Amino acid sequence: MEHLISVLELLKEGKVAESDSNVKVYEKSFTEKENVKLVMVNEQDGKWILAVGDGELYKELNGKDIKGLGKACPLSHENRLVLNNYFTYTVPQAFGTKVATMGLGDRLGLASPGHIQTLRNRKVKPILAQQSIRELTLTNRTMIDILDAASFAVFQEGYKDGYGADGDHIKEEKDIAYALSLGISFLTLDCSDHIPNQIESASDSDVRADYEKLPQETKDYFNEIYLNQSFDVDGLAIKYDEIALMKNVLLYGGALNYTEHVYKSYITEADKAIDFEISIDETETITSPDAHFFVANELKRRQVSVTSLAPRFCGEFQKGIDYIGDMKQFEKELSEHASIAEYFGYKLSIHSGSDKFSVFPIIGEYTKGVLHIKTAGTNWLEAVRVIANTNPDLYRKMHIHAEEHFEETLKYYHVTPDLKSIAPLEITQDADLPNYMDNDAARQLFHVTYGILLTATDEQGNFLFKDEFFKTLNEKEETYSQALVKHIGKHVDLLGL
């Protein structure tokens, strides 16, 4: 606390102190409002917002008085809410269908400053908070933690161009209501529980039999609109024969009903604009362009307007590695998906979008730079790379633990790494440890074991890695930010944003 005195004295005069070995001062955070001057600092025992002045804002901020000069306010949830009230740029906002957005999941609560530095002055807005229920559960974090971290990062960087917060891959109504009540600006509705997996491989007679069971009025409705009709999407002809129509109805009928319900009960009822994304990607069924059109056209008929839609593309979008599959087929279908999205007036959304370097240029081209793309685990992998670079002993312990526990992750994640292609740790020099993050199998190994690594404890309940991991990254904050600027910057460059 001693070190903060000189910073406060200068702040009183409206000046920002320079960082020294004791205190890092985030100069971009400096701001003045209603007689109060604020700046964020990082001292040995953590980050604080220093406040001097008087008035309502000063009173509302909770903090320790420092020799009558001002106060040091912790980055608490309560203080975040106070910032939100006085500084609108710290509140998540919706962006609509005309501007590109990038989901930047931050499993650690440390990546957002680097993400802001990456996207500042680009043609894409950051969705800084983006965490699925799965990720929250696996890391023992709450949605409130995620929103607090994003808000403080925006304040730290003095970033005033707007950011979003995504309630990611939410399935259940209670989670939707909860996420909206916390102030998210983007909702990704995961419809996978409503998309039956067996239809795609079912025989024609089984499809027919299932379809027959639907109410007569449902069948009449779909037959009249779609059967043997031709739709023209800016030159792309879409047609449905009997079996194709039946399959689409059986596959997506339930998801459409659920989406309509969520839209009408939550999105239109929310007290602010919400970017509403529908995700039909987390299923075993590849979304054909015909199926995409069917879903889009039904949403329109039901007056449900979505901001973005995430199809499941052909080939594989595995976590943390490049695209796997037939590039020609992918390009053809991508161009059709992009046309359909443009025709209906929403953005195409690319999930598991990190590290797909070989297809980014065509994704940027066909979407004309108006898309949503989600990244998450890759940001954690860059953190692991920083550990490998700066704390080799910790990296080695984590690597061994990840290998020992890899199997347990397969119930959450679909990845197929060739673990034998990972160089044995015993023969790898410290200087070569960061290269593991260039090996696809090692990337996937760490990509899926984050929850296990960050929650692992010894018999006494002490964390095996977590505390040292965070301590190292806190000390190397700038190194981590620069790693993200480089890595995510490469994504943005290739997408043409």
User: Are the C-beta atoms of 273 and 223 separated by less than 8 Å?
Assistant: no
Least distance CB 323 / Zn ion (angstroms): 15
Least distance CB 272 / Zn ion (angstroms): 24
Question: Identity (one letter) of the amino acid at 350?
Answer: I
With binding defined as CB under 5 A, does residue 281 bind Zn ion? yes
Name the residue nearer to Zn ion (CB basis): 125 or 372.
372
Name the residue nearer to Zn ion (CB basis): 130 or 151.
130
Does residue 281 have an active-site annotation? no
With residue 323 as reference, give the H or E element that holds it: none
Least distance CB 469 / Zn ion (angstroms): 27
Catalytic choice (166, 168, 290, 336): 168
47 is in an annotated binding site: no
247 is in an annotated binding site: no
Least distance CB 412 / Zn ion (angstroms): 13
Number of residues this chain uses to bind Zn ion (CB under 5 A): 4
Name the residue nearer to Zn ion (CB basis): 43 or 106.
106
Query: Residue 194 corresponds to which tokens in the numbers above?
Result: 């409503």
Does residue 277 have an active-site annotation? yes
User: Are the C-beta atoms of 372 and 102 separated by less than 8 Å?
Assistant: yes
CA distance 313 to 280: 10
Name the residue nearer to Zn ion (CB basis): 80 or 107.
107
Distance, CA of 323 to chain centre: 19
Catalytic choice (135, 157, 277, 336): 277
CA distance 77 to 96: 28
Least distance CB 136 / Zn ion (angstroms): 15
Name the residue nearer to Zn ion (CB basis): 285 or 472.
285
CA distance 186 to 101: 11
CA distance 337 to 429: 46
Give, as ranges, the residues between 201 and 220 that touch Zn ion (CB under 5 A).
none
User: Are the C-beta atoms of 494 and 355 separated by less than 8 Å?
Assistant: no
CA atoms 415, 418, 420, 422: torsion sign:
negative
Contacts of 272 (CB under 8 A, 6+ apart): 93, 94, 185
- Which window, 44-52, 66-74, 245-253, 277-285, contacts Zn ion (CB under 5 A)? 277-285
Q: Give the SS3 label for residue 25.
A: strand
In our burial notation (b when 16+ CB lie closer than 10 A, e otherwise), range 63-81 reads beebeebbbbbbbeeebbe
Q: Give which of 67, 31, 72, 24 is closest to 51, Cα–Cα.
A: 72
Q: Give the SS3 label for residue 49.
A: strand
Name the residue nearer to Zn ion (CB basis): 183 or 311.
311
CA distance 415 to 401: 18
Q: Pattern of binders to Zn ion over 95-134, x per CB under 5 A? A: ----------------------------------------
Name the residue nearer to Zn ion (CB basis): 7 or 321.
321
- Which window, 83-91, 92-100, 276-284, 295-303, contacts Zn ion (CB under 5 A)? 276-284
Residue with tokens 């700038």: 478
- Which window, 21-29, 255-263, 278-286, 299-307, contacts Zn ion (CB under 5 A)? 278-286
Least distance CB 312 / Zn ion (angstroms): 8
Beta partners for 190? 279
Q: Give which of 345, 378, 382 is closest to 360, Cα–Cα.
A: 378
Contacts of 237 (CB under 8 A, 6+ apart): 230, 231
Least distance CB 195 / Zn ion (angstroms): 12
Name the residue nearer to Zn ion (CB basis): 157 or 281.
281
Least distance CB 150 / Zn ion (angstroms): 20
328 is in an annotated binding site: no
Count the helices and strands in the chain (H runs, E runs): 18, 15
CA distance 53 to 69: 9
- Which window, 92-100, 128-136, 211-219, 274-282, contacts Zn ion (CB under 5 A)? 274-282
Query: Residue 250 corresponds to which tokens in the numbers above?
Result: 């059986």
**C-beta nearest to Zn ion: residue:** 351
DSSP 463: B
Q: Pattern of binders to Zn ion over 329-358, x per CB under 5 A? A: ----------------------x-------
Query: Residue 162 corresponds to which tokens in the numbers above?
Result: 């707007």
Residues that bind Zn ion (CB under 5 A): 279, 281-282, 351
Binding site, annotated residues for a divalent metal cation: 169, 319, 351
Binding site, annotated residues: 169, 319, 351
What positions carry a catalytic annotation? 168, 277
